[in-house]
Amino acid sequence: MTIQKLRPKIHFTPEKGWMNDPNGLVFYQGKYHLFYQHDPHSLVWDTMHWGHAVSHDLIHWEHLPIALYPDDIGVIYSGSCFVDTDNVTGWGSDGKPALLAFYTSHKMDTSRECQCLAYSTDGVSFQKYEGNPIIPGKDHTPARDPQVFRNTILGGYSMVLTREKCVEFYRSSDFISWAKTGEFRLPDYALHGMIECPCMFCTDGKYVLMLSMDVPESEYGKFPEEAVPHARVMQYFTGSFDGSCFFADPSQKEGNDTYSLAGRLF
């Protein structure tokens, strides 16, 4: 009972162990699903799994079994989920679409990062695609955190992921075979550093690309006076998407751009 009193009343916490990045936030089969980076055996960041919980109201959460465990390809890094309502994969049945989980596998000894796929038909247990990885990687080459979304411009589906210093875009018609279509590099006026966990969405016809940044101290001079320099920030860009790549609005580059930069930081 004492331990429960120390838990936040609103914010989600796992039953035990380490947690960080939320992954695959999705509404599926009448429930909100929360996946998250999780090490059930340690209180510090170590061997990543995907933890899992569901809710009817986004306040009260039910803990579910771990969704994804490490395997021979690597430990389980961040990613996203997509509900295959059109049954493109053929894994759904009887009006129950498959829930697809896209994630990065990280090989600890070689730092090889690959993009992988798993699926579920009950929202609880996941089966890893036997042909993983769907996008191979190279040793000592960061490539992580895939977000998959419907490509409403060219058709099919797009994936955005990070390569440490840039953002890459891929496209697929079947969720299995992916072809690179473009990359977005940070403009000079932006905060530079290691990029993680990209997220792109469209609102009122405008595309927004959000990036989680690990910023070195050499970039602190770009922070506006009203912002406290910090190594971990969220940075976003508004712009357009042609179905292959994202393009930042030219209007964001104005003078020293300190006001614009302040508006783009979280």
Mean pLDDT of 225-240: 91
pLDDT value at position 254?
Answer: 53
Residues 6+ apart with CB under 8 A from 62: 53, 54, 55
pLDDT at 242 over 90: yes
- Residue 92's pLDDT band (boundaries 50, 70, 90)? very high
Catalytic residue among 21, 46, 71, 86: 21
pTM above 0.85, yes or no: yes
Mean pLDDT of 9-27: 94
pLDDT at 258 over 50: no
- Residue 3's pLDDT band (boundaries 50, 70, 90)? low
Over the stretch 143-186, which tens digit does the pLDDT of each residue have?
A: 999 999 999 999 999 999 999 889 999 999 999 999 999 999 99
pLDDT at 257 over 50: no
Mean pLDDT of 195-218: 95
Over the stretch 49-60, which tens digit does the pLDDT of each residue have?
A: 999 999 999 999
pLDDT at 187 over 70: yes
Residues of the chain with pLDDT > 70: what percent?
94
pLDDT value at position 120?
Answer: 98
pLDDT at 266 over 60: no
User: Worst-scoring range by mean pLDDT, 150-159, 198-207, 222-231?
Assistant: 222-231
pLDDT value at position 7?
Answer: 83
CA 234 – CA 266 distance, rounded (Å): 5
Mean pLDDT of 194-206: 94
C-alpha distances in angstroms, 60 versus 13, 34, 159, 218?
Answer: 11, 12, 31, 42
Instruction: Clarify whether 204 is annotated catalytic.
Output: no
Over the stretch 128-141, which tens digit does the pLDDT of each residue have?
A: 999 999 999 999 99
Residues of the chain with pLDDT > 90: what percent?
83
Question: Cβ-count burial of 100 within 10 angstroms (0-12 exposed, 13-18 middle, 19+ buried)?
Answer: buried
pLDDT at 95 over 50: yes
What mean pLDDT value characterizes the chain?
Answer: 92
